[in-house]
Structures are given as structure tokens and as C-alpha cells.
Amino acid sequence: MKHRKSENFSEWYVEVVEEAGLAGYAPVKGTIYLLPYGYEIWELIRSHLDKRFRESGHRNAFLPVLIPESLLRKEAEHFKGFTPEVFWVTHSGDDPLGERLAVRPTSETLFYATFGGAIKSWRELPVLVNFWNSALRAEIKSTKPFIRTSEFLWQEGHTIHATREEAEEEVMRMLRIYREVIEEKLAIPVVAGYKSELEKFVGAVYTTTLEAVMPDGKVLQMATSHNLGQNFTIPFEVRYLGPDGKMHYAWSTSWGLSWRVIGAVIMVHGDDRGLRLPPEIAPIQVVIVPIHYKEEERALVLEKCREVARRLADAGIRVHLDDRTEYTPGWKFNEWELKGVPLRAEIGPKEVEGGRVTLARRDALTRVAVSDAELVESVRRLLDEIQRSLYESAKRFLLEHITDARSLEEFSRVLEEKGGFVRATYCGSKECEAAIKELTGATVRVIPFDPEPILSNCVYCGGEGKVTAYFGRAY
């Protein structure tokens, strides 16, 4: 690694992405391609989410990538919000199309025109569907792998309900699921709450969000869950025949999480040696590196390596034996540290003779010898410890980066000197929120679900303080 996390954070980040073999820049500006190692991390995150989506009654389905312009226009506010970012298809071969086709920036409109249009009676509700796909939004600002790209992998969940209450419950249920996966699997602590009027999803009644602080002091939105009320079901005429024999407009939600959470994992857990992956999302949890110095020791060492690999794999641990002969053990250590593999098992003649395995932790860079008999148990315990320890150190960082400000001067000083969340009170008006953004570059990231104490008058206009929010400069 050429760059240091504490010195050139931005360059360090891109170096980790490329050198750890996660992703690279694709020919079209703002797009990236994923290498297998990067994609496998995404697949693990996806499987953790999928399991919970299914347990809560959701099923996966498919929608096409092209959306007719007329459909996208049906919900005016939604259309206006996305227009600057939409890629348009204007030709089919050499012939101009009669109507422009949008390349999916998000699928609400298509979902209501298809799934929504098929609903007849209350007996078919709720509709609980999820789509794993990619979405395209032209990025004019500078792009950053995983964090800001013109095409990104994500999942978008869409649901239709008979009542407002059911839709509201769904919004919170999905935010809870996101929180569990992000905190327990990605080991990243978040602050949960509502988005402000200015920051909410275009077309939503309200948006709930999970936000995390990155090591450079910027805040990253990790996942959002939206209550769409009847804002889409009315223009798309999603109605159902109720048990009362009358027609009713349905209620709906949508929720999404994208691969930017991989960017958060890199930023939050990485160090000067490269990536540090939480075991729950590590494609390889244990890498075995054989250490043999004499040719005659080779066979014995490799035999033990294979035996260890088999035992760990049988125990359901993701293990890889690096038996390449063209690289030295030292070279391999560096490579797997760069790739963030949580545990390295070193096996040489000493380990063979002593009936043990040397385990090196990627997070703490410590080593411990464990006996062959206790191998599986020790690996499981260490993986748990690594998972917990990564979360705890990120949690300490988060708590150290929530700072109260009672005046605009204090607000700006915290942002400049420390970053992270600035907890401050304002009058709740869009005007003050916009003015604060203009002046400081910070936006309302989260308004906590349980209102927090009023700290002062509005930090901007000095009027009555009504809302205490977490502000921050966002990615």
C-alpha cells in the first residue's frame, strides 16, 4: 500500500479497492466493474438480507430496465426529482423511437404499472416483492467506486398494502432488518431516524434512514425505507375491492440498500495494510499459508494444511489453502492482509511436530498457537471476537463523532475541526435547512425517531428551536 488512511484518505480508499481485487474502473466514466472477490462480498451481504426478506414474507421477482417516459411522468414530483439523472434511450437501431425510454433510475413507476395494476381484491394484499438489480443515475459529481457510480447494484423492495397502518409497519420492519444486517454482519453502527423534507425520497410521504460516520468525518447513508402513502397508488390507480364491497386506493412503501455499503466497510474497517473484512461478509474467513523451508518438509506440511482445510470446511467455515509455490509465505501474508481475510493459519514443520496451528488475526495483528484438537472451536471463537471487536471500535468512533452545537459558530467549528454528526436544533423550516447547507455544506442527515432535547433556538435564524437533528457533510 502506497497511501496511508490517515494521510490521503481518498487515494487510500481507491488503492484498497483496486489492490484488494474488488473492483476497477470500466470504460464509461462513472462506471466500475466488479472482480469476483468484490462480487462475493456483495453476494454474502445479499444472502444475509435475502434470508430476512424471505422470513418476513417477501419474495424476489424481476422487472425490465426500460421505462417509457410517459410512465415515469405519472408521478410529477418523482419525475422532476429524477430528471437530471436519467439516461434516455432514444433510438432502436438507427430509427428514432416514438417515445423516449428511461433506463431504470428506480422501479416504482414500473412496479405500480405491472404488479399494482394486477390487483383486484383485498384478498391479494399485501403484495411484498423485492428486486435484485442495478439502477442507473448519471453522476455529474466526481465518482468514487461503490460510493458514487452511474450504475450500481442494489435491491429495491416494493410493497402494496390495504391500510396506512400496515404500510407504516412495513417501513419500520424493513429499516429494522437493514439495521440488523448492517450492525451485526457489516459491523457498522448507525444512527436511525427520519429524513427531513428536503432530503426525503422524491415522491415519499416520509423517508426513514440509517446513517454512519466515515473516518474522514463525512456521513454515509446506508439504507432507506420510504412510506409512499398513496402518492403512487392514486396516479397509477392501484385500487382494490374491499370486504365492504367498495373500491379503495392502496398504500405503498419502497426500500433499498446498494453496494455503497461495501464502500462503508472498506472505509470504516480498513487500515494502512488494506482491507479488514468482518468475518460475516468475508468470502474467505481463514486462509491457510504453508510454511516449508526444506523440500523434504513440503509433503508433510501440505498434508497437514489439507487436513486443516478439510476440518474447517466441514465445520462450515469459508477456508482457502494458498498452496501456490511461486510466492513466498511473506508475500502471501501481505496479499491476504491487503484482501482483509480475518484469520491466517500458518502451518510449518514446527506446527506439524507440535500438533498445533498458528493463527494470526487481521484486525489486531496478533498471533496465537492453538492445538489441533481445539482448532475448530478456536477459529470460531476468534472469528466471533474479530466480528465484535470491529463493531466495537467503529461504535467508539461513532460516539466520539456526535457533537452538540448550540450556535452557528460552534456548528461550523465542529464541522471543520472534527466532522461527523453535529447535533443541533433548528426551527424545522426548509429555508433554514437550505441556508445551513449553503453556508456549511452540511445537511440534515437524521431526525431521530424519539425527539431529542431542544438544545437552543434555531442555530440559523434564532427563532424557536423545534427539531433537534443530526447534521453532517454527506457522501
Q: Which residues bind Zn ion (CB under 5 A)?
A: 427, 432, 458, 460-461, 463
Pick 258 or 443: Cβ nearer Zn ion: 443
For residue 459, give the nearest of 405, 392, 402, 416 by alpha carbon.
405
Closest approach of Zn ion to the CB of residue 428, in Å:
8
Question: Which residues lie below 8 Å from residue 455, measured CB to CB, with a gap of 6+?
Answer: 404, 405, 406, 423, 424, 425, 465, 468
Phi, psi of 181 (to 5 degrees): -70, -45
346 to each of 13, 318, 326, 362, 378, how far by Cα in Å? 29, 16, 17, 13, 14
Residues in a beta bridge with 338: none
Residue with smaller CB distance to Zn ion, 230 or 456: 456
Cβ distance to Zn ion smaller for residue 369 or 454: 454
- Answer yes or no: are the C-beta atoms of 463 and 453 closer than 8 Å: no
By C-beta, is 44 or 458 nearer to Zn ion?
Answer: 458
Nearer to Zn ion by Cβ, of 61 and 461: the residue is: 461
CB of 450 to Zn ion, least distance (A): 22
- Decide: 138 and 86 in contact? Cβ < 8 Å: yes
Closest contact distance (angstroms) between CB of 427 and Zn ion is 3
**Which residue's CB is nearer to Zn ion, number 20 or number 427?**
427
Amino acid at 293: Y
For Zn ion, which is the closer residue by CB, 261 or 469?
469
Minimum separation from the CB atom of position 418 to Zn ion (A):
24
Please say whether the beta carbons of 188 and 268 come within 8 A. Answer: yes
CA 149 to chain centre: 14
> Smaller CB distance to Zn ion: residue 392 or 431?
431
Query: What cell does 439 get?
Result: 453556508
Question: Residue 265 or residue 469: which is nearer to Zn ion going by CB?
Answer: 469
Q: Minimum distance from CB of 194 to Zn ion (Å)? A: 18
Least distance in angstroms from the C-beta of 435 to Zn ion: 8
Residues 423, 425, 430, 433, CA torsion sign: negative
Rounded to the nearest whole angstrom, what is the least distance from the CB of residue 466 to Zn ion in the complex? 9
Minimum distance from CB of 437 to Zn ion (Å)? 13
Give min distance, CB of 426 to Zn ion, in A.
Answer: 5
Give the cell for residue 72.
415515469
CA 131/CA 155 separation, integer angstroms: 5
**Minimum distance from residue 400 beta carbon to Zn ion (Å):** 28
Of 275 and 427, which CB lies nearer to Zn ion in the complex structure?
A: 427
**Comparing C-alpha atoms, which of 45, 385, 399 is closest to residue 222?**
45
